């Protein structure tokens, strides 16, 4: 058979490759396959009889089909020196390795309500508006356009998570076995201790008073009057500013006994006249102890969260109270404090707000939502088994940043 110079040189390379015992490189096997394929296309090889020389054995290298570097040595060694006309060329089955999927994991902290990553959208501020009638000069306050939707969504979120205020709020700490007068007094003392103090700590201090004061009279007005100031200071020691609060409580007990018939005052002015009692405590005490909603008890949570929502722009709790009372329905005055305090304890925290778990941020209703600025990518090398072989892949773990 007539063969070209290129075919003869390729045949020599093939014979040398038969004795190679080490792993054939991908580039070398590819070059063999390429030479044979090019030669088969460039030249027409005339078929001869069975007694032709051995150089025809390399014609099998040009056969089309999938090629894998693992099969290159066996393909060359298994090719016979001579073959008969009409006998098919033996082929080796090649299985391509399936691609290894790269898994992406979102930080649990940024997971949404339903487990999927929440898409945080920054809302637009829609504050309450003051409208003045030019004819009569009457001023009307129009509430924020979306306040009812926000309020109802927060109520739904609060039902799913129990907050400290739900079980240890000041209005729930008084002993049920006491008289109404003693329960009102305990509620007042709990509110005085709650200033600059967490609900859990306040509950601990109230429990100390209920269990450690000599009984009778126990934790009552008479019991506080009888206990020495150093002992009282020790019992309420966990709360913030306990030294000042000891003085306030002792002075309040004296005023109640001498000016208010041993009961707490029935007016906001009377409550605010007591040492250490401000507007927030007075309105909350009036609502919890006497059942009268004469104002909104605005603490740091209510002030902070309503400003984040863009309902107003105020500088302090008292200014916030006046703004809210101008348009919020009166039937909401009592519950809004409990609602937003619990929301601020569980989701809208003072530090590290969980916007990824908040429905308001997901729906674009909160102008104060923290929108992610980027993602930090961590590369971690792992081994994943595939059949009997181990394939090495790089798993990319993305943690959404805020």
Q: Are 143 and 179 in contact (CB under 8 A)?
A: no
pTM, full prediction: 0.63
Per-residue DSSP letters for 97-126?
PPPPPPP----GGGB-TTSSBP---PPPP-
Angle at which helix 300-308 crosses helix 317-325, to 10 degrees, equals 60
Q: What's the confidence (pLDDT) of residue 8?
A: 74
* CA distance readout (Å), 61 to 72, 73, 398: 10, 12, 47
Sign of CA dihedral 298, 304, 306, 312: positive
**In this structure, are residues 309 and 323 in contact, taking their beta carbons and an 8 Å threshold?**
no
Helix (H) or strand (E) holding 276: none
Nearest C-alpha neighbor of 52 from the set 91, 3, 12, 6: 3
pLDDT at 350: 94
Q: What sections of 105-195 are H helices per DSSP?
A: 147-160, 164-168, 180-194
Q: What is the pLDDT along the chain (402 residues), one digit of tens a residue?
A: 556 676 777 677 666 555 444 455 565 556 556 555 555 554 444 444 444 444 444 344 444 444 443 444 444 444 455 555 655 555 544 444 444 444 444 444 444 445 555 567 777 788 888 888 888 888 889 999 999 999 999 999 999 999 999 999 999 999 999 999 999 999 999 999 999 999 999 999 999 999 999 988 999 999 999 999 999 999 999 999 999 999 999 999 999 999 999 999 999 999 999 999 999 999 999 999 999 999 999 999 999 999 999 999 999 999 999 999 999 999 999 999 999 999 999 999 999 999 999 999 999 999 999 876 653 434 444 444 444 444 444 443 444 444
Cα–Cα distance between 223 and 213 in angstroms, integer? Answer: 7
Output Rg (C-alpha) for the chain, integer angstroms: 41
Element (H, E) at 382: strand 375-386
> Which sequence positions are flagged as catalytic?
280
Spell out a b/e string for 171-198, using b for 16 or more CB atoms within 10 Å of the CB, else e: bebbeeebeeebbbbbbbbbbbbbbebb
CA angle 313, 316, 320 (to 5 degrees): 60
Measured on CA atoms in the order 306, 312, 313, 316, is the torsion positive or negative? negative
How far is the C-alpha of 9 from the C-alpha of 274, rounded, in Å?
109
* The token pair that represents 83 in the structure block: 């073959």
Output the pLDDT for position 61. Answer: 40
**pLDDT for 97:** 41
Nearest Cα neighbor of 304 from 340, 277, 338 is: 340
The pLDDT assigned to 399 comes to 44
């Amino acid at each position: 058979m007539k063969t070209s110079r290129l075919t003869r040189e390729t045949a020599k390379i093939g014979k040398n490759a038969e004795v190679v015992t080490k792993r054939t490189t991908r580039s070398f096997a590819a070059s063999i396959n390429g030479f044979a394929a090019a030669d088969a296309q460039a030249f027409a090889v005339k078929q001869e009889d069975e007694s032709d020389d051995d150089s025809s054995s390399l014609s099998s290298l040009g056969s089309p089909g999938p090629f894998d570097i693992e099969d290159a040595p066996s393909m060359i060694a298994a090719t016979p020196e001579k073959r008969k006309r009409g006998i098919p060329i033996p082929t080796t089955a090649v299985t391509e390795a399936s691609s290894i999927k790269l898994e992406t994991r979102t930080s649990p902290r940024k997971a949404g309500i339903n487990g999927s990553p929440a898409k945080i959208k920054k809302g637009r501020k829609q504050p309450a508006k003051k409208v003045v009638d030019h004819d009569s000069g009457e001023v009307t306050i129009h509430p924020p356009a979306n306040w009812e939707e926000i309020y109802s969504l927060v109520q739904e979120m609060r039902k799913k998570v129990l907050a400290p205020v739900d079980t240890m709020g000041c209005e729930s700490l008084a002993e049920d076995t006491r008289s109404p007068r003693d329960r009102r007094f305990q509620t007042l003392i709990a509110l005085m201790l709650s200033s600059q103090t967490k609900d859990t700590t306040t509950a601990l201090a109230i429990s100390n008073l209920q269990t450690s004061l000599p009984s009778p009279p126990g934790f009552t007005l008479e019991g506080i009057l009888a206990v020495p100031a150093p002992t009282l200071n020790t019992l309420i020691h966990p709360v913030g500013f306990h030294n000042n609060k000891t003085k306030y409580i002792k002075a309040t007990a004296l005023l109640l006994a001498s000016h208010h018939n041993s009961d707490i005052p029935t007016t906001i002015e009377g409550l605010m006249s007591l040492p250490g009692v401000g507007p927030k405590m007075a309105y909350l005490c009036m609502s919890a102890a006497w059942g009268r909603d004469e104002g909104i008890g605005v603490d740091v949570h209510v002030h902070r969260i309503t400003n984040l929502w863009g309902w107003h722009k105020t500088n302090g709790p008292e200014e916030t109270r006046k703004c809210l009372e101008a348009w919020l329905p009166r039937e909401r005055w009592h519950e809004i404090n409990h609602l937003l305090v619990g929301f601020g304890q569980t989701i809208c925290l003072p530090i590290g707000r969980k916007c990824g778990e908040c429905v308001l941020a997901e729906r674009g209703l909160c102008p104060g939502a923290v929108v992610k600025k980027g993602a930090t990518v961590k590369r971690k090398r792992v081994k994943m088994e595939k059949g009997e072989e181990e394939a090495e892949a790089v798993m990319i773990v993305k943690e959404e940043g805020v």
